[in-house]
Amino acid sequence: MRMADTSGSISIIGVPLHYGADRSGVDMGPNAIRGANLGGRLEALGLSVHDAGDIHVNRSLGDFGPVSKLKYLHEIARVNADLAGRVTRELEQGRMPLVLGGDHSIAIGTVKGVLQYVKRLGVIWFDAHTDVNTEETTVSGNIHGMSLAVLLGWGHPDLVAVAGAATKLNPRNVAVVGARSVDPGERVFLKQQGVRVFTMHDIDRCGMKQVMEEALEAVTDGTDGVHLSLDLDGMDPNDAPGVGTPVPGGMSYRESHLAMELLHDSGALVSAEFVEVNPMLDVNNKTAAAAVDLIASVLGERIL
């Protein structure tokens, strides 16, 4: 199995997409995170930082009429196909992809791109939501709530087909951490698929250290690397107010840092994305700054 030596080289890829959330502002997330001194923090860690710019997103919706219950399906599929190709190329050049959203629908392209290079991939999904709705179960039609289902091979054919329909995750190597808002149809799906879900109840009861140890055991079992998909709404809204779908009672700032530190210490991380920062809803750029803090932690920054 080919593995990229990404220990010292990071490629930042912005995806200013808001169509998956159907809410303006999250498309400004990539530049808000960059503007919170992301590059400086990573360079201070001794990392070589390459900013690959942003994936192009069409701003005119004139060509994207309703074709299904899913909103903006064609443009979301196109952007994710472009992103998947970019992610694969960065890995081939020995750089770890660090993708900045944009809404969580971009995980389709990020993970499918990594899967072209790391065939046996584990995924840790930090999120208040589980994102396993489908066209049959969604109420909103917003694709950012379907991305994990698509990556497991379930969903609209145009989305599943991104980078090849056979390119998908093994559900036993996926762990959701921090869930506290799960739809009825998602509960059924998760149980049927056998995805490990660590809710806020689990974190409260067992502590983040034990939860992360169990999550890492699942995502590293027979895999060649781990991808981190981190939605800032996984954190408590007091610590990350600038998100589109805040849910009270989330992970604290310190719990989130500990999780990142433990993931870094595992040595398994091959790629990451940080999504759903919405500067229009933020307070003094607090959420973008939190994203940079967590990125620095998962890439090796420590107190001492």
CB atoms within 10 A of CB 188: 12
The one catalytic residue among 54, 75, 90, 231: 231
**Rg for the chain (alpha carbons), in Å?**
17
Length of the chain equals: 304
Based on the residue annotation, tell me whether 236 is a catalytic residue of this protein.
no
Is 156 labelled as part of a ligand binding site?
no
- Angle in degrees, CA 137, 141, 147, rounded to 5: 75
The one catalytic residue among 75, 90, 202, 233: 233
Structure tokens at 190: 């998760």
Is 82 labelled as part of a ligand binding site?
no
**60: Cβ contacts below 8 Å, ≥ 6 apart:** none
Torsion over CA: 14, 294, 273, 271 (sign) = positive
Based on the residue annotation, tell me whether 22 is a catalytic residue of this protein.
no
Is 103 labelled as part of a ligand binding site?
no
Q: What CA–CA distances, in Å, run from 46 to 11, 43, 148, 264? A: 14, 5, 33, 15
The one catalytic residue among 131, 202, 273, 301: 131
Q: Is the peptide bond before 113 cis (omega within 30 degrees of 0)?
A: no
Based on the residue annotation, tell me whether 131 is a catalytic residue of this protein.
yes
Distance, CA of 191 to CA of 8 (rounded, Å): 38
Is 74 labelled as part of a ligand binding site?
no
Based on the residue annotation, tell me whether 104 is a catalytic residue of this protein.
yes
The one catalytic residue among 27, 75, 127, 282: 127
Q: Are 30 and 102 in contact (CB under 8 A)?
A: yes
Is 5 labelled as part of a ligand binding site?
no
The one catalytic residue among 18, 90, 104, 227: 104
The residue written with tokens 């805040």 in the block is 246
Based on the residue annotation, tell me whether 50 is a catalytic residue of this protein.
no
Q: What CA–CA distances, in Å, run from 101 to 98, 141, 217, 234, 272? A: 10, 19, 27, 15, 11
The one catalytic residue among 261, 276, 282, 301: 276
Distance, CA of 275 to CA of 258 (rounded, Å): 19
Phi, psi (degrees; rounded to nearest 5) at 94: 85, 20
The one catalytic residue among 75, 90, 129, 239: 129
Q: Which residues are annotated as a binding site?
A: 104, 127, 129, 131, 231, 233
Which positions make up the binding site for Mn(2+)? 104, 127, 129, 131, 231, 233
Q: Name the residues annotated as catalytic.
A: 104, 127, 129, 131, 144, 231, 233, 276
